[in-house]
Structure 1
């Protein structure tokens, strides 16, 4: 069976609080760190790529406050930021996509951009500098400008379309119970939106096209909230909502309640589970990123949530941010699936688990959750000369 891993390695430079990071990802990766350590900034860098390709770089930057809010702040005032993604396409072909964005008097420009599938000289590739083609495997390349990512234009070429499609199919979620609770306009229900603003349409779409996934969502929701036995899309005039079947004392048949009557924890759990098990053979996320899935859930629900994350990661790569010992309290969690996020003097470090902590977990002496409770979930120590603290190389062949 093909691995669910889409992004194999991520390198960032000067992105928000992250000066430099270079990490490998697993089918299920936990980014573990305290509040304010920079976990969300890592996911946001991937989210920016998705937004810039599916919309425009200008909109993606403006939604984050512009270049000055995206690039790292420091005494040296970096003038640029860079992102490199090493991936494996559904066909099994490896490749990488990288770009840097820097300041110019008129605002910003894409200083350099590179995409390669299968290795330079082995498959399709292009390299641009400031909107000009430097190298390309293609005899004809569409017109590009320095204020946009060239991969958007290159997606019109069959050689690069798979990369574009996979990158815009990444989904990032910070589920909002208030948004899920409100009446929603009927929308495209193929893929869930970031806050859950189209979840009613997604549940309705799954009921029609993938009832098996809908049943999985309902089964896990029942494990998390035992009184709830099912959920359906409900038409409310020109709008729509969700209705839940829930046990009531003294009645052998469940009652139906609209989303507006359900707790934050129930709605957030439904949103997380829908994000994990959405899609079908025609439309599925290539990667799912979820911010602190344990929020608003009772600690007793952690085992069911963890099982859902593991099951979903068998078909779609999953990245979660967390600082919950309960969620990580499982001896089966592999040390390689953990990345420790720590902030030192305002600079975020994202590195693998330290050797000592890895050995403790491999020998099943403590779970990751127990180590976190003991404040012993330590990062791999590095010196200024190790690659982890050097500027990540963004371009060229995979290292």
Structure 2
């Protein structure tokens, strides 16, 4: 079976609370740490890449409060931020995409360096750009570029770089909002669920037409989490649309029907998480799904079903989950290698695999990850943290 892993490694520099990190990712990765440790900032860096490519870098930065809110400050002085994503495309080709952004004197900003390589420089498509000027490229034709935008947007029209663009824009990131999901929605593109679930009715309608097996799987898991729910479907209300749930009621011959406005936050959030995980179909699934605290508003008893859904979804789509829930992590069979500990040291986020004692305790079934989390013993590996202090370059070919 083809691996679901898209991003193999994420290197960040001066992004929000993250001074420097070098994180390897698997098919399923749990980012576990206390509130405020910086888990969301790690996901947001990848989300910014997607937003900057689907819209513009200017909009992506402004939605986050501007460049000053995105780049890390040290002793009051903001720094330039940089992102490097190493990837594996679905055809098996590997490569990386990286850029860094700095401020200009007039409160503007510029992409100082941008680089993309597929198959290694000299072996496949590649480009290197410095402040809007081409330094190197495998392509004879190169569209016009400017230093205030990511060049990959323009280069997406070239066959050589289209797979990279499609893969990066095929990522989805979610912090689902039941209130938004509850309100009637305007019909929208339903191929990819939006970040807070604002187009979930359109996504369910799209699955009804194009992937009924995926919708059946969503409904199967939803019934485990909320046993009284028999199913869900898109419902048209004039020019708007909403969700309609079928719910078993004691003494009723047929299920009663309720719109999303009558459903609890837990039910809507569960549906949102499951829809994010199983949207699309196995051949056209998102390349990566990042979900903020999927256990929120769910009864602890639903954790087992949620873990199973995460494992199943990770067989076709790479999954990254943030959590500080012992209940979600309370599984003796949870693989220690899927967990990354996130801690805040001096207001700076550090991310690393678990230390040896935590891994050994889990592998020997002495403690589950949830039990270690309750005991505050789910710790990052000190050697990995030390190694990350030797900052790797964002650009060029770097050591594995």
Decide: shared fold, TM above 0.5: yes
Q: CA deviation at 1:91?
A: 0.4
Counterpart for residue 192 of structure 2: 191
1:281: Cα distance to partner?
Answer: 5.6
What is the aligned partner in structure 2 of residue 360 from structure 1? 361
Whether the 8 Å CA contact 1:4–1:314 is kept in 2: the answer is yes
Query: Could you tell me how far 1:76 is from its partner in structure 2?
Result: 5.9
Query: Matched residue of 2:191: which SS?
Result: coil
Show the counterpart of 2:62: 62
Task: Measure, in 1, the Cα distance between the counterparts of 2:398 and 2:311.
Answer: 28
- Kept in 2, the 8 Å contact 1:21–1:392? The answer is no
How far did residue 282 of structure 1 move? 6.3
- Cα deviation, 1:55-86, whole Å, max 9, x if unaligned, reads 00000011111110000022162430000000
Q: Is there any run of 5+ residues in structure 1 with no aligned partner, and where?
A: none
* SS of residue matched to 2:248: strand
Deviation at 1:300, TM superposition (A): 0.3
2:341 aligns with 340
Instruction: Check if 1:319 corresponds to 2:320.
Output: yes
* 1:191 and 1:283 in contact (8 A); partners too: no
Shift of 1:230: 0.2
* Residues 253-285 of structure 1: CA deviation (Å, up to 9, x unaligned): 211111000000000000000000001266421
Q: Distance between the aligned counterparts of 1:337 and 1:383, measured in 2?
A: 15
Indicate whether 1:35 and 2:39 are aligned: no
Q: Does 1:16 align with 2:12?
A: no
User: CA separation in 1, counterparts of 2:300 and 2:124?
Assistant: 49
- Deviation, structure 1 residue 396: 1.0
- What residue in structure 2 maps to residue 92 of structure 1? 92
Give the match's secondary structure for 2:382: coil
Who is 1:119 aligned against?
120
**Contact preservation (8 Å) 2:68, 2:78:** no
Q: Is the 8 A contact 2:353 2:384 kept in 1?
A: no
- 1:48 Cα deviation (Å)? 0.2
Please say which of residues 387-396 and 166-175 is displaced more in the overlay: 387-396
CA distance in 2, matches of 1:69, 1:40: 14
1:33 touches 1:342 (CA, 8 Å); kept in 2? yes
1:182 and 2:183 matched: yes
Cα distance in 1 for residues equivalent to 2:7 and 2:102: 24
- Paired with 1:353 and 1:246, the residues of 2 have a C-alpha distance of 43
- CA 1:172–1:339 in 2, change beyond 3 Å: closer, same or farther? same
- The corresponding residue for 1:72 is 72
Question: How many Å apart are 1:126 and its aligned residue?
Answer: 0.5
1:121-149 deviation digits (Å, cap 9, x = unpaired):
11111001101111111112111111011
Which residue does the alignment assign to 1:164?
A: 165
- Alpha-carbon offset, residue 174 of structure 1: 0.6
The Cα RMSD (Å) is 1.2
Instruction: Provide the C-alpha distance between the structure 1 equivalents of 2:178 and 2:9, rounded to a whole number of angstroms.
Output: 32
1:201 and 2:240 matched: no
What is the TM-score with the length of structure 2 in the denominator? 0.97
Contact 1:20 1:392 in 2 (8 A): no
SS of residue matched to 1:135: strand
- What do the CA deviations read for 1:159-186 (whole angstroms, capped 9, x no partner)? 0000000000100001100001000111
The structural deviation recorded for 1:105 is: 1.3
**How far does the alpha carbon of each residue in 1:89-130 deviate from its partner, in whole angstroms, 9 at most, with x for none?**
010000000000001113110000110000111111100110
CA distance in 2, matches of 1:274, 1:383: 35
Please say if residues 282 and 316 of structure 2, whose CA atoms lie closer than 8 Å, have aligned partners that are also in contact.
no
CA contact (8 A) 2:352 2:384 kept: no
- 1:1-399 to structure 2, matched below 5 A, reads 1-75=1-75, 77-106=77-106, 107-280=108-281, 283-382=284-383, 386-399=386-399
Equivalenced residue count is 398
